[in-house]
């Protein structure tokens, strides 16, 4: 565990970048520092690997004061990733990734084998190994940066706005990849961002900092969204805090109706039997069980329903794995006001009305959010 104990950083010009910061960074989890620009995030991160020394206070790793450790030993135990990856432009991708193992004295073949293994781990095509950084996209370069930081298998990974310079879609991919890598490798990750959505998505615990380097709140994301400590945190979390909080409640508890679902070859009797006064539309599925669209019962031709004449069903949600937020989104976007639930195989498992989703949301307000994040 990394313990930051009453740490202050005052720069020579008098700027107090970090002010009596105390917090415990848990092992094998992702701790995120988030806050507006200039609030002291980078300064804090760099004090952990001693690129910057604190003016006051101590930082302990597993109970030992880092100022009493040789700085090289300390840095070797910490991978460091920055925005724009900071790759060596004159070295190939594989040699960039092999940098630290080579510094540690590994022979070239072993270091390159390790680099190739890491390319796979961070989702890079091995065919890119011989290229130079300028021949890669921003997202690919960022993956190289992560692979390079992991090369010597350090227990700690420090990441300073690593994904801030890439576009939103690539960024989402990088975030998902980091969560996957973390599941596999169980590193202690300290991650800096100014983006609260990113913090909530990837953080096991999130430290919200305010200008002047003071800690506003340190809590798991669901707790931040439920119980912001003050107006600053609430403001920083943004206007759709309540909706984002629903990400932490599974959709699995939603009761599904299977009555208003018919197959594309349904008989007249089946259509008549499934049309009920409280459900004005029937969901039609293909013979493979996947959703095709909605239709009013009297418009459906028995035996051979025409998919082209159905109303689109929108994106379905996966009942077992997704969140109430996904179900709500689905119901809100559905032209019929009903959301379509599917299993992992994409087959329809039932439908649920906006009203039922709303009732589940009301019970969620009273309940504590789950520790485990449901998929969003
Ligand atoms: N070398 C420095 N000398 C003086 N002030 C600095 C120095 N580095 C950073 N600062 C100031 O310290 C504060 C915190 O900076 P920083 O840790 O980089 O914030 P963040 O990463 O949250 O944007 C800012 O006000 C910044 O201008
Ligand atoms: Mg910074």
Mean local confidence (pLDDT), 198-213: 95
CA distances (Å), origin 280, targets 250, 269, 307, 347: 27, 17, 18, 22
Of residues 137, 128, 193, the one with CA closest to residue 163: 193
Q: Which ligand 1 atom is at minimum distance from the Cα of 43? A: 17
Of residues 31, 71, 19, 81, the one with CA closest to residue 50: 71
pLDDT digits (tens, 9 = 90+) for 228-259: 999 999 999 988 898 999 999 999 999 999 99
What confidence category does residue 372 fall into, taking pLDDT thresholds of 50, 70 and 90? Answer: low
21 Cβ closer than 6 Å to some ligand 1 atom: no
pLDDT of 366 above 80: no
What is the span of the domain harbouring residue 327?
261-360
In a domain, 371, yes or no: no
Looking at the structure of the chain, the number of domains it has is: 2
Q: Which ligand 1 atom is at minimum distance from the Cα of 33? A: 22
Whether residues 206 and 134 share a domain: the answer is: yes
15 Cβ closer than 6 Å to some ligand 1 atom: yes
In a domain, 374, yes or no: no
151 Cβ closer than 6 Å to some ligand 1 atom: no
Give the CA dihedral 62, 75, 155, 174, nearest 10 degrees.
130
pLDDT digits (tens, 9 = 90+) for 114-161: 999 999 988 899 999 999 999 999 889 999 999 999 998 999 999 999
Q: Which ligand 1 atom is at minimum distance from the Cα of 18? A: 14
pLDDT digits (tens, 9 = 90+) for 321-347: 999 999 999 999 999 999 999 999 999
- Are 319 and 246 in contact by the 8 Å Cβ rule? The answer is no
Q: How far is the CA of 38 from the centre of ligand 2 (A)?
A: 7
208 Cβ closer than 6 Å to some ligand 1 atom: no
CATH of the domain at 322: 3.10.580.10
In a domain, 255, yes or no: no
- 286: which 2 tokens? 């293909």
pLDDT of 315 above 60: yes
Residue ranges with strand state E in 163-303: 188-193, 205-210, 214-219, 261-263, 282-285, 291-295
In a domain, 367, yes or no: no
What confidence category does residue 280 fall into, taking pLDDT thresholds of 50, 70 and 90? Answer: confident
Mean local confidence (pLDDT), 365-371: 68
Write down the pLDDT at residue 178.
93
Q: Which ligand 1 atom is at minimum distance from the Cα of 42? A: 21
pLDDT of 371 above 60: no
Question: What's the CA gap between 164 and 69, in Å, rounded?
Answer: 32
What confidence category does residue 304 fall into, taking pLDDT thresholds of 50, 70 and 90? Answer: very high
pLDDT of 214 above 50: yes
Provide the CA 154 distance to its chain's centre, in angstroms: 22
In a domain, 71, yes or no: yes
Mean local confidence (pLDDT), 101-111: 91
6 Cβ closer than 6 Å to some ligand 1 atom: no
In a domain, 110, yes or no: yes
Q: What is the mean pLDDT of the chain?
A: 92
Q: Which ligand 1 atom is at minimum distance from the Cα of 13? A: 4
Residue identifier of the C-alpha nearest atom 20 of ligand 1: 38
Whether residues 171 and 314 share a domain: the answer is: no
Whether residues 68 and 212 share a domain: the answer is: yes
What confidence category does residue 376 fall into, taking pLDDT thresholds of 50, 70 and 90? Answer: very low
Whether residues 315 and 204 share a domain: the answer is: no
* Domain endpoint, select from 214, 248, 282: 248
Q: How far is the CA of 190 from the centre of ligand 1 (A)?
A: 18
Residue in 14, 32, 35, 40 to alter for ligand 1 test, most ligand atoms within 8 A of Cβ: 40
CATH of the domain at 130: 3.40.50.300
Q: Is 300 helix (H, G, I), strand (E, B) or coil?
A: coil
Whether residues 151 and 211 share a domain: the answer is: yes
Write down the pLDDT at residue 375.
44
Percentage, residues of the chain above pLDDT 70: 98
pLDDT digits (tens, 9 = 90+) for 7-58: 999 999 999 999 999 999 999 999 999 999 999 999 999 999 999 999 999 9
* Ligand nearest the Cα atom of residue 164: 2
Q: How far is the CA of 321 from the centre of ligand 2 (A)?
A: 35
42 Cβ closer than 6 Å to some ligand 1 atom: yes
Write down the pLDDT at residue 145.
92
Q: How far is the CA of 9 from the centre of ligand 1 (A)?
A: 10
Whether residues 277 and 194 share a domain: the answer is: no
Q: How far is the CA of 154 from the centre of ligand 1 (A)?
A: 27
Write down the pLDDT at residue 373.
53
Element (H or E) spanning 317, and its range?
A: strand 317-318
Q: Which ligand 1 atom is at minimum distance from the Cα of 44? A: 17
In a domain, 72, yes or no: yes
Mean local confidence (pLDDT), 201-219: 95
Residue identifier of the C-alpha nearest atom 6 of ligand 1: 11
Whether residues 225 and 349 share a domain: the answer is: no
What confidence category does residue 167 fall into, taking pLDDT thresholds of 50, 70 and 90? Answer: confident
């Amino acid at each position: 565990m990394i313990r930051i104990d009453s740490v202050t950083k005052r720069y020579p010009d008098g700027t107090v970048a970090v002010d009596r910061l105390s917090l415990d960074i848990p092992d094998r989890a992702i701790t995120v520092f988030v806050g507006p620009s200039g609030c002291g995030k980078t300064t804090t991160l760099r004090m952990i690997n001693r690129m910057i020394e604190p003016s006051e206070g101590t930082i302990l790793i597993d109970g030992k004061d880092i100022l009493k450790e040789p700085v090289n030993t300390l840095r070797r135990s910490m991978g460091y990733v920055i925005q724009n990856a900071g790759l060596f432009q004159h070295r190939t991708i594989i040699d960039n990734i092999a940098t630290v193992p080579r510094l540690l004295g590994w022979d070239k073949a072993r270091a390159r084998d390790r680099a190739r293994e890491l390319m796979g781990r961070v989702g890079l095509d091995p065919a890119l190994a011989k290229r130079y950084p300028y021949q890669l996209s921003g997202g690919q370069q960022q993956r190289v940066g992560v692979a390079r930081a992991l090369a010597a298998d350090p227990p700690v990974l420090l990441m300073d706005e690593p994904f801030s310079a890439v576009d939103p879609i690539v960024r989402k991919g990088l975030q998902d990849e980091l969560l996957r890598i973390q599941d596999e490798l169980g590193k202690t990750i300290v991650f800096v961002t100014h983006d609260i959505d990113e913090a909530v998505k990837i953080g096991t615990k999130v430290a919200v900092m305010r200008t002047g380097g003071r800690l506003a709140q340190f809590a798991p994301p669901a707790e931040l969204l439920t119980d912001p400590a003050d107006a600053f945190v609430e403001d920083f979390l943004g206007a759709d805090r309540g909706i984002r909080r629903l990400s932490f409640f599974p959709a699995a508890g939603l009761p599904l109706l299977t009555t208003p679902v018919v197959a594309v070859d349904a008989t007249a009797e089946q259509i008549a039997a499934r049309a009920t006064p409280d459900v004005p539309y029937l969901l039609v599925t293909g013979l493979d069980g996947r959703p095709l669209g909605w239709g009013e019962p009297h418009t459906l031709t028995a035996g051979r329903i025409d998919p082209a004449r159905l109303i689109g069903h929108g994106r379905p949600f996966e009942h077992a794995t997704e969140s109430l937020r996904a179900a709500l989104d689905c119901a809100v976007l559905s032209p019929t006001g009903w959301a379509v639930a599917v299993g992992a195989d994409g087959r329809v498992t039932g439908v649920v009305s906006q009203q039922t989703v709303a009732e589940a949301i009301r019970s969620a307000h009273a309940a504590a959010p789950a520790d485990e994040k449901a998929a969003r």
